[in-house]
Amino acid sequence: MRECGVPARIRTDDGAPFADTELLELSKLSLGWMEIGIMHERIQAGRPQQNGRHERMHRTLKEDTTKPLAASLRAQQSRFDNFRYVFNNERPHEGLNKQVPASLYIPSSIRLPRKLPDFTYPKGLLLRRVNNSGDI
């Protein structure tokens, strides 16, 4: 987000680290997104097809970078970095009318603040402290 700006929304599944089973189903990560104004849009549980493009990208990522695994973490990271570049800048996408994502991407004009603002809860809510394990 420091490089590309803050998105208006992020769409995820309902698993960790994006959601929790307690406290309004908010995780530490999704609460942090709320603090900087990002809308967290979640797909329905058990419906990965609602995020099909993302799931397809993961399949391609695994096929192109992990079979076989690289010999070291540094080499594996290099594979991921190369995949990201090719996926966004060289590989045409059917869903984008055979264009590459980089040709259509517009960075967000909303910059990530250096210091995240303190979150202010609406009046009338009973506040409880939650530890890293999710216990109240």
At residue 24, the pLDDT reads: 66
For the chain, the structural domain boundaries read 9-67
**pTM (2 d.p.):** 0.66
Residue 99's pLDDT is what?
97
For residue 33, what pLDDT is reported?
87
End-to-end CA distance of the chain: 30
pLDDT at 21: 62
Measured CA to CA in angstroms, residue 92 lies from 66, 74, 86, 106 at distances of: 22, 28, 9, 17
3-state DSSP assignment of residue 80: helix
What was the pLDDT predicted at 100? Answer: 96
CB distance 28 to 112 below 8 Å = no
pLDDT of res. 103: 96
- Within 1-107, where are the H helices? 28-35, 52-65, 73-89, 101-104
| Residue numbers of the chain with a pLDDT score lower than 50 | none
**Confidence (pLDDT) at 116:** 74
Alpha-carbon span 29 to 126, nearest angstrom: 21
Name the residue type at position 130.
V
